[in-house]
Amino acid sequence: MKSRGFIITSLASVVAAGGLGVGGYYWSVAHVQRWTGMDHLGFVNCNHCHLVRVEKLPWAKERPRHPAPAGLAVSPDGRRLYIALDDVNEVAEADTATLQVNRRIKLAGGPYGLLAHPQDGRLFVTLRHADAVVELEPERLTEVARIAVGKGPVCLAYARTEAGERLIVANSLSDDASLLSLSPLAEIARPHTGREPFATAMSSDGSVAFVVGRIAETKDFVTPAASELTLIRAATGRVLKRVPLESAHLAEGLATVASRGWALTPLVKVRNLIPITQVANGWVMSSGLGITLADGQTVQVPLDEANDYFADPSGIAVDPAGRYAYVVSGGSDAVSVVDLERLSDWLSKACELTRREAVDDLSLSAEYVVARLRTGRNPRTITLSPDGRRLFVAERLADRVLVVDTATREPVGHVALGDGGVWDPIRRGESVFTKAAHTFQSQFSCRSCHPDGHVDGLAYDFDGDGIGDNLLDNRSLHGVAGTAPFKWIGSNPSVEVQCGPRFARVLMRTDPIPPDDLKDLATYLQSLPPTGWERRRDLALTPTQERGRQLFFATTRPDGTPIPRDRQCQTCHRPPLFTARIPTAVGTRGPRDATDFFDTPHLLGIGYSAPYLHDGRAKTLEELWTTYQTNDLHGVSSYWSKHQLNDLIEYLKTL
Amino acid sequence: MNNPLNRNRRPGWLAGIFLTVALAAPAALQAEPVVKDGDLPMPLIERFENFGSKDGIPTHKVHAVYKTRDGHLWIGTWDGLCVREADGKFKRYGPEDGLSHKMVLCLTEDPTTGDLWVATMRGLNKFSGGKFTQYTQTNSGLPNNVVYGCDVLDDMVVVATAAGAGILNLKTGQWRIFDHTNSLMHEPWCYAVKGAKDLIYWGVWGAGVLEYDFKKNTWKEYRDPDRDFHYDLVPDDGLINDITSWLSWEDGILWQNTYFGMTRYDGRRFKTWVQDKSPLLSNFTQFVWPHRRVAWIGMDKGVSVTDGEVWVNYEVGTDGEGIRTLHQPGAQPEKTVMNTALANRFVLGIYVDDEEAWFATSDGLSRGVYATPNPYKKLPGIAAAR
């Protein structure tokens, strides 16, 4: 009897458990379908909509900080090197003779760009996260003045003009430049620039300020990319000319050559509309140097060699004589030395057609690149001593500054700032992210398309599904933690899979990233917060934004008509990440797309990641509900007034 | 050539005869005015130079004219935006160059960046450093694509559209829009806008003039007190009419155009003019450009220039000659026949500075050459700000 009872009890328990399981399954499916309004959905894990807490995400947690060098500046007498350490909120001063750090001062707000006044040595620092420029007295490095500028200032340049002394500041997040007077420190003008301005320079006569945007302008999604070089009258702020750098982006450096009237811009020559099959032929990405001549004409020449690429060129410095330009390659850990005399000779002989096609001829660099100097990990910025005899290279991921004798082109030593942080998996992951060695012939790195983990604003044609089909907008990696699955069709369940062996075969055309490196890479990517998160998260909503928030969470129209659940914003873009991580069809399928269903992107930092939709067809947020809305499938917007649309846009910018 | 308003296109031989007669029989013509420029609050135009298709202007109808601070002359036409180049020819920019629509209605300049803002029948454009950036009702917060007027005030671009008013904050990129649902507008049809230090004035069809204090976020309405559509029953009691066709402001003075007369408001007193009771050429006023407290008024019958006391009118005679009439208080009108005239009497836009005056008309562009070069050098105390 006992065994029979046990069997009956066990069977009953199994049936009950099975019943609970089956019942629970059907209940959960019904629950999901009821609350999403999507009848096609099957079982969906609870954590798509529940149990998500921002504070638990990797990017919301405190991470190790490193003394990574950003901007560099040398005192007028050449005896002191200043180093901005944005990650630890410090500015360091080193002795250029002993290469020892004399002192480090605290300066909150992410000190990034540096400039030493050429006469009196006053130090000007851009605070990237505090949207300000501060003036430091050089002897004690104490703050004597501060001025608010645009968002995300990263670089500044100086000139003495007919109207007085001027600073031009590149504001990377507000797409503009602040023109400042020095006496008093005041903003004169804030002209718009290209997208994400990252470098500035002044002409030697002080007449023209140059600002270059590192991201290509948002255009029609099948139009070749072009970053903008903006020429501004340094005395007044008047915009003189906007020079498109054709098929170029990631322009992060600028220098002028007084003796020749040139402006030099290192750039990435991107051919995103060519199928990715062309990686093997060297036709997707290469490094170049944009030369804007005195007459405004721009010529692009290669920095790469036929079988050896020097990826992610960024900082540039030109010696006082105008003979040599030094260009760092952050992806290849090198400095390319360009003989400007030889480059000038070549230019004088080249016809217009030759000039136009020059950047595609990788054999050409042998004409003027006279040396390649090896550096530590991820050199990003570079500067010269006033006499041009010492070259200082910020090795960002090595936490040190390389010092080179320009006469011998040999290293003199390093200014050590930290230990390189190799113990930190996030740091190791960033090193993988920025290393071009993982791609065929070191043509590019992850950063080449995702500057600092963000977007380059371009659509790419991955050929695995056919040439010309399924063009895909590049998505930001900021805030990706917890937003799996990945890819626009949502087929990759994790960052490791997204960046794994298949990716290596499709894109990098080389061996996969080793497992340990891949793990570090995933750790790094998941440590990236949404763009501008720190500056937005504690701000209260304005009345306009609050109205937009109410519209976002609306469940009924103003007349009381219910909005179907599957068309309420909050259903698919569920907070706190503003994605339910479920592919949905919102009527955006294009003629060359293979599916109606696309991954639901998270909306954190959405205001900074134009263009929008899976193929980048929407250039602005407004276009999502004007030009590209189809039958109220992407939210019910047909009842919105223009006021409401504007309110919603302002709310989305706060996310 | 079939345009009935075109009175200035006569055969060359006719002009020759006219000139010969003028030279041979000066006594037959009225003498030059005894009043010198320096005695008047405004410069006198002694001749007009006209520009049209022969100069590269793509169409006869010119809607707007503006000279930027770098000296370039820009015109907005029915068929594109044009700039006058060093050789005197006009270079055209159209939709193929990035302009959002070929029909340009209004032009203004950002005084610090030099950006030219271009209002069109389909959107607002920024022309900066040789590049157009479009703002439309679908890609931005612009209230409506039909943009009649625009102006730049500090960090703001303000617009008047067919469906409300808008303010674009150039630093934040945020748009604020106003219509009958959130302001004193009775309907959202805005024809004109002008920034005035801490205030913005919008000219609204059927709602007079709205004054917006953007620091206090408050509105004030100026209406025609008698509310009569056709008659100004009580002069100087307020706006002359609620149908505002254009407005402008300079140096503390607001000028309002209507199709029923003209208003001046200095912050304390209103002054109204109609053609039957003043030297105003026509009640159909459609543009005003104030310069040094003098209004240059464009209308269907030519141009009136006044500081409120002295008037100078420029008309086109039946034979295409120019007619200038000076009205001074207590004196008989002095009429002068000029060899040259406005390209057309239907004047849609005006630009005036110390050196010259430009007129956009429905049949070409005209430049007014002053009798005394740079006459305002004698008037240093008057504000130059516009």
Q: pLDDT digits over A459-499, tens only?
A: 888 877 778 888 889 999 999 999 999 988 888 889 888 88
Mean pLDDT of B299-325: 96
Q: What percent of chain A has pLDDT over 90?
A: 78
pLDDT at A603 over 90: yes
Of A241, A646, A649, the CB nearest to B129: A241
Specify the number of domains making up chain B: 1
pLDDT at A129 over 70: yes
Q: Considering only CB atoms, which chain B residues are within 8 Å of A219?
A: none
Residues A223 and A456: their CA atoms lie apart, in Å, by 14
Ranges A24-28, A164-168, A338-342, B91-95: which has the least confidence: A24-28
Interface test with B, best of A236, A539, A646 (most B CBs within 10 A): A646
Tell whether B157 is covered by a domain. yes
pLDDT at B37: 58
Q: Considering only CB atoms, which chain A residues are within 8 Å of B188?
A: none
CB B308 within 8 A of CB B280: no
Q: Considering only CB atoms, which chain A residues are within 8 Å of B171?
A: 150, 174, 176, 190
What ipTM was predicted for this assembly? 0.91
Report CB contact under 8 Å: B112, A189. Answer: yes
Whole-Å CA distances, A307 to A67, A146, A304, A520: 34, 48, 8, 28
CATH architecture of A426-526: Orthogonal Bundle (1.10)
**Beta bridge mates, A72:** A83
Question: In chain A, which residue's Cα lies nearest the Cα of B173?
Answer: A174
pLDDT at B6: 42
Mean pLDDT of B19-40: 48
| A564 prior amide bond cis, ω within 30 | no
Secondary structure of residue B52 in the 3-state scheme: coil
Domain boundaries, chain A: 426-526, 537-655
Domains A426-526 and A537-655 share a fold: yes
Higher pLDDT, A211 or A39: A211
Report CB contact under 8 Å: B129, A627. Answer: no
Tell whether B207 is covered by a domain. yes
CB A56 within 8 A of CB A47: no
Residues B230 and A346: their CA atoms lie apart, in Å, by 75
Q: pLDDT digits over A47-80, tens only?
A: 888 888 999 999 999 999 999 999 999 999 999 9
**Beta bridge mates, A143:** A136
CB A85 within 8 A of CB A416: no
Report CB contact under 8 Å: A620, B171. Answer: no
Mean pLDDT, chain A, whole residue set:
93
Interface list for A 224-253 with B (CB within 8 A): 228, 230-231, 233, 236-242, 244
Higher pLDDT, A151 or A505: A151
Report CB contact under 8 Å: A239, B113. Answer: yes
**Beta bridge mates, B176:** B167
Whole-Å CA distances, A182 to A165, A350, B114: 6, 42, 22
Q: pLDDT digits over B56-91, tens only?
A: 999 999 999 999 999 999 999 999 999 999 999 999
Tell whether B82 is covered by a domain. yes
Residues A233 and A238: their CA atoms lie apart, in Å, by 5
Higher pLDDT, B5 or A229: A229
The CATH number linked to B222 is 2.130.10.10
Torsion sign over Cα A369, A74, A136, A65 = positive
Interface list for A 592-631 with B (CB within 8 A): 619-620, 622-623, 626-627
Find how far residue A324's CA is from the centre of its chain.
29
pLDDT at B31 over 50: no
pLDDT at B10: 43
CB B358 within 8 A of CB B368: yes
pLDDT at B35 over 80: no
pLDDT at A294: 81
Interface test with A, best of B68, B138, B155 (most A CBs within 10 A): B138
pLDDT at A377 over 90: yes
Could you list the residue range(s) of the whole structural domain that residue B353 is in? 36-305+337-371
Report CB contact under 8 Å: A642, B115. Answer: no
Mean pLDDT of B355-366: 97
Mean pLDDT of A218-230: 87
Given pLDDT bands bounded at 50, 70 and 90, which one contains residue A280?
confident
Mean pLDDT, chain B, whole residue set:
89
pLDDT at B348 over 90: yes
Q: pLDDT digits over A190-204, tens only?
A: 999 999 999 999 998
Torsion sign over Cα B137, B220, B223, B193 = negative
pLDDT at A1: 60
pLDDT at B353 over 90: yes
Tell whether B227 is covered by a domain. yes
Tell whether B21 is covered by a domain. no
Report CB contact under 8 Å: A237, B113. Answer: yes
Residues B176 and B169: their CA atoms lie apart, in Å, by 8
Residues A283 and A276: their CA atoms lie apart, in Å, by 8
For chain B, counts of helices (H) and of strands (E): 1, 30
Tell whether B289 is covered by a domain. yes
Mean pLDDT of B146-156: 97
Given pLDDT bands bounded at 50, 70 and 90, which one contains residue A591?
confident
CB under 8 Å to B109, separation ≥6 — which residues?
Answer: B66, B68, B69, B115, B116, B117, B152
Q: What percent of chain B has pLDDT over 90?
A: 81
pLDDT at B339 over 60: yes
A537-655 under CATH 3.30.390.30, yes or no: no
Interface test with B, best of A620, A624, A629 (most B CBs within 10 A): A620
Report CB contact under 8 Å: A150, B113. Answer: no
Of B69, B131, B155, the CB nearest to A242: B131
pLDDT at A537: 78
Residue B359 phi, psi (nearest 5) = -130, 125
Tell whether B54 is covered by a domain. yes
Of A189, A242, A619, the CB nearest to B128: A242
pLDDT at B21 over 80: no
Secondary structure of residue A647 in the 3-state scheme: helix
Given pLDDT bands bounded at 50, 70 and 90, which one contains residue A95?
very high
